[in-house]
Structure formats: C-alpha cells, structure tokens
C-alpha cells in the first residue's frame, strides 16, 4: 500500500540517518575498489527479494534483530522471508512492489537500501549483482590491470575470462 504522509515523514528522517551512517562508514573504509558502470535496466529484479546485511553484534542479539525486522515491517513495508546466518542476511518480501507491473508504489519515499542498490555492493571483494541488472561493477584500476594482462601474451580466451572475473569490463 502506498505510503501516507506520516510514513513519508518518518522515512525521510530515517533516510537522513541512513545516509549519515553510510557516509561515516565510507570515510572509515576509504574508497570502494569498484565503480559502477551501466544504467538501471528497470526490470524490478532488485525489488524481488531485498536483503539487509546485519552487523555481527546485532546479529548475535535477538532483541536487536527483532527490532530491525519489526522496523522494516512497520516502516518500510518489508516482510521477513528468510534469514541466512552464514552471511548475516535478512531477506524480505516488499509489500510496495507490484509484481505484475514491476514497479514500486512508493518510489519517492523508498528507503536507503533501495536507493543504494547496487552501489552498496561495491565495497565487497567481488560484487555479485542480481541477474538482469543493467549496472556492472568495474575495478577502479581496470585500465591498468587490463593493459598488464594483455602484455603477458596470454590466449584471448584467458584474457577475456580474467577480465570478466576481475571485473575489468
């Protein structure tokens, strides 16, 4: 159901806190090793099963985890579908996502995790984007790495595979 005025105000405040936290985290960790290339293909794939990675301490505290799940249900319209302990992931079904029309009924008040996708993945060692996503991660030093690989006189198929695996394309 589309967000009402009160929910929009609450989500705007939550978004400000989310952005401040992200900026601080980026300052602490430095530049991500990848940049984004491409553009949104508007498939709605990232709305199929939005997921949140929980910090280690919060994952170990059941009350904290329940609070995260409750907040996302109440404010963001995200209903918990699964927990993946190995990756500390909470996977949701979004009640704002219209699966037939493949669009969000509250796009302008969508939460930070939706606005961030797939940029939030660029800090991972080898980012995996959702199949069909029009974006792709490219290593910051892609040009230099690609030139270095090509200098080695490797077979074209090996160069292609390395370029793909190392996100140089």
**Count of Cβ atoms closer than 10 Å to residue 162 Cβ:** 16
Q: Could you tell me which of 120, 92, 110, 114 has the C-alpha nearest to residue 22?
A: 120
Round to the nearest angstrom and report the end-to-end CA distance of the chain: 40
Which lies closer to ligand SF4 via its Cβ, residue 33 or residue 134? 134
Binding-site size for ligand SF4 (CB under 6 A) equals 9
Q: Which is nearer to ligand SF4, 60 or 102 (CB)?
A: 102
Q: How buried is residue 121: exposed, middle or buried, by Cβ count under 10 Å (0-12/13-18/19+)?
A: buried
Helix (H, G, I), strand (E, B) or coil at 36: strand
Of 34, 90, 110, 137, the one binding ligand SF4 (CB under 6 A) is: 110
167 scored as a contact of ligand SF4 (CB under 6 A): no
* Least Å from the CB of residue 13 to ligand SF4: 16
**Nearer of residues 83 and 116 to ligand SF4, judged by Cβ:** 116
| 94 is a site residue for ligand SF4 (CB under 6 A) | yes
The H-or-E segment that residue 154 falls in is none
**Site residues for ligand SF4 per CB under 6 A:** 47, 50, 94, 96-97, 104, 107, 110, 114
């Amino acid at each position: 159901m589309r967000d009402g005025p009160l929910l929009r105000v609450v989500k705007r405040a939550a978004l400000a806190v989310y952005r401040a936290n992200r900026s601080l985290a980026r300052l602490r960790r430095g530049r991500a090793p990848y940049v984004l290339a491409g553009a949104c293909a508007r498939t709605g794939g990232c709305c199929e099963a939005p997921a949140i990675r929980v910090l280690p301490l919060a994952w170990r505290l059941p009350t904290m985890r329940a609070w995260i799940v409750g907040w996302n249900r109440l404010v963001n319209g995200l209903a918990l579908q699964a927990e993946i302990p190995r990756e500390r992931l909470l996977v949701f079904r979004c009640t704002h996502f219209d699966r037939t029309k493949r669009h969000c009924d509250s796009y302008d008040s969508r939460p930070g995790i939706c606005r961030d996708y797939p940029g939030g993945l660029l800090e991972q060692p080898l980012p995996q984007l959702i199949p069909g996503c029009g974006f792709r991660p490219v290593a910051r030093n892609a040009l230099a790495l690609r030139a270095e690989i090509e200098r080695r006189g490797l077979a074209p198929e090996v160069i292609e595979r390395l370029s793909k695996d190392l996100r140089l394309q």
